Chains A and B, each alone.
Chain A
Amino acid sequence: MINKSIMLRFPRECVGKPVISNLVRMHGIEVNILRARIHPTEEGRMLAQLKGSDNQIAASIEYLSSSGIEVHLPENSFIWQEKKCVHCGACAGICPSGAFTFSSATFEVEFCISKCILCELCIEACYYNAIQSVEDYIETSGVKR
């Protein structure tokens, strides 16, 4: 079993369809919806985590794409922008879920997206603007307008 974060963009014509419940029924995976919203342009955006086997997840992504939904697979950088990070470790000291950790060997921050519960405490703790909110990500990333 693996956890995979996905970011979906539903074009206007897909917004009313029960895509996620079809996905669960057809592919037997668990879907944890982290954020979903319908944009004023009537497009939908959703950030979710899929839990299942490699094959189930590959089939799920195939299903979503063939249903006309744009699928983005966010890297760690969608929350943690390592380029801006100075590795002070403030995020790791406040993260309640163990997504941000601080290596005692390298004295550097590490981030594991599948453990992130999007509480956003880290955004407040980061002085360097190196952590992006999911709302900002949904608003700006990978979406061609």
Chain B
Amino acid sequence: MKRTWEEINDKIDRGNIVVITAEEMTELSEREGVKEACRQVDVVTTGTFSPMCSSGLLINTGHHAPRINYKRAWLNGVPAYAGIAAVDLYLGATAQRENGGTPSAYGGGHVIEDLVSGRQIQLQAEGHGTDCYPGRSAEGSYTIDDLENAILLNPRNCYQNYNVAVNASSPGTIHTYMGPLLPDMRNAAYSSAGQLSPLLNDPEYRTIGIGSRVFLGGGIGYVTFMGTQHNPDTERTPGGVPNCGAGTLALCGDLRHMSPEYLRGVCIKGYGVSLAVGVGIAIPILDEEMAFYTGVSDADIPAPVIDYSSDYPGMSGDILGRTNYKELRSGEIKVMGKQVRTISLSSYSKARKIAVELKNRIRNGSFRLTVPVAPLME
């Protein structure tokens, strides 16, 4: 049983596509077998919603009179990178509002959420003053509609798999990007949508590649390249699932079509700020191998447990043990003989909503699949 991308897009156009979510595919292939699941299903949709720190917004404010070339700039008090062309700025999700030295609970991710919610933001900028750009300072108020461009440009999203973080060595609570970790391994934090997660349903990047159209923040985005730290050469299970981090995606899309339901500024107490991003990717069931991959279940996906009080900051590379997403989602895992409560940073219910929303868009013909122009592996 084989299908081509063209056949799948034709079925989307004709309105008789068979599309289900990755969660439904796992059930179907367990119940009826991979061969039968492959025969029945054309497309499987995935989803994930989690803080993704390597995210940001590229904006162009439009020119001022007189013209100014921004050298330093702040959006709602959050510093943006101005080392590009005149009125272009890049606002990173983890940049914090400058607050007289004390860390602020408001940052780049919150500015992005404000813009996508239709709220007005304030710009302050400084320039050197040149013959062609004489302006030395500028101020302005902008809603998303006032900006010339507002492009979500995320260098690393959708980590294929992720660490489980514990505090095994520090006597007190430590504050990490994985949230508060209590002493004596009293909790363990994880962050993946597991069986619903995009790259875990296409672990060898056979259908997700450069140019793939994706659901990004409620709107449309594209995979622009492999993400930073993309590392496909990690150890894998016999089913092809990486044992740790592995692949990542660089994503890009127009913020104007996105929604605050799927883009949220976050504040990680004692650590900093970030942006939670919702991403969904549709996977064509080209053959039985893709049906097998999309049938992956939480129990098939391993995750390394890492001590964030010593091994992670010290880069020792050691792990305390391995677990899987079925155990993690049960609320308790066993690490070195000890029962440990689990905390999820990734929202499974949002991931599910995204997979269902993408399924509906494919069904009603408003989301077609794109053939990658280049693979994510060399």
With A86-B276, A125-B180, A128-B264 known to touch, is A107 a contact of B352 (CB < 8 Å)?
yes
Docked CA distance A129–B264 (Å): 11
Is A124 in the interface zone, CB < 8 Å from B? Answer: yes
Asked if A124 and B51 sit within 8 Å, CB to CB, the answer is: no
Is B367 in the interface zone, CB < 8 Å from A? Answer: no
CB distance from A106 to the nearest CB of B (A): 7
Mask: chain A, 88-107; 1 = CB below 8 Å from B; 0 = not: 11100110000000101011
Binding site for B on A (CB under 8 A): 86-90, 93-94, 102, 104, 106-108, 121, 123-125, 127-129
Asked if A94 and B343 sit within 8 Å, CB to CB, the answer is: yes
With A106-B349, A108-B349 known to touch, is A89 a contact of B344 (CB < 8 Å)?
yes
**Chain B residue at minimum C-beta to C-beta distance from A93:** B343
The stretch of B123-131, B202-210, B226-234, B265-273 in contact with A is B265-273
Known: A90-B343, A104-B331, A107-B352. 17 other contacts (CB 8 A): A86-B49, A88-B344, A88-B346, A89-B343, A90-B179, A90-B344, A94-B182, A94-B341, A94-B343, A102-B344, A106-B349, A127-B51, A127-B179, A127-B266, A127-B268, A128-B264, A128-B276
Chain B contacts for A106, CB-based, 8 A: 349
Dominant secondary structure of chain B at its interface with chain A: strand
Asked if B269 and A124 sit within 8 Å, CB to CB, the answer is: yes
Instruction: Report which of B264, B276, B341 forms a contact with A93, defined as CB distance below 8 A.
Output: B341
Listed by A's residue number, 30 A-B pairs whose Cβ atoms lie within 8 Å are: A86-B49, A86-B264, A86-B349, A87-B349, A88-B50, A88-B344, A88-B346, A88-B348, A90-B345, A93-B187, A93-B331, A93-B341, A93-B342, A94-B180, A94-B341, A102-B331, A102-B344, A106-B349, A107-B348, A107-B349, A121-B180, A123-B269, A124-B179, A125-B179, A125-B180, A127-B51, A127-B267, A127-B274, A127-B276, A128-B264
Instruction: Report which of A88, A94, A127, A129 forms a contact with B187, defined as CB distance below 8 A.
Output: A94
Binding site for A on B (CB under 8 A): 49-51, 105, 179-180, 182, 187, 189, 264, 266-270, 274, 276, 329-331, 341-350, 352
Chain A contacts for B105, CB-based, 8 A: 129
Q: How many A-B residue pairs have CB under 8 A?
A: 69
Docked CA distance A125–B270 (Å): 10
Dominant secondary structure of chain A at its interface with chain B: loop
The 6 closest A-B pairs by CB, nearest first: A93-B343, A127-B266, A88-B347, A87-B349, A107-B349, A107-B348
CB distance from A88 to the nearest CB of B (A): 4
Chain A contacts for B267, CB-based, 8 A: 127, 129
Chain A contacts for B343, CB-based, 8 A: 89-90, 93-94, 125
**Chain A residue at minimum C-beta to C-beta distance from B271:** A127
Docked CA distance A88–B182 (Å): 18
**Chain A residue at minimum C-beta to C-beta distance from B173:** A124
Chain A contacts for B349, CB-based, 8 A: 86-87, 106-108
Chain B contacts for A87, CB-based, 8 A: 347-350
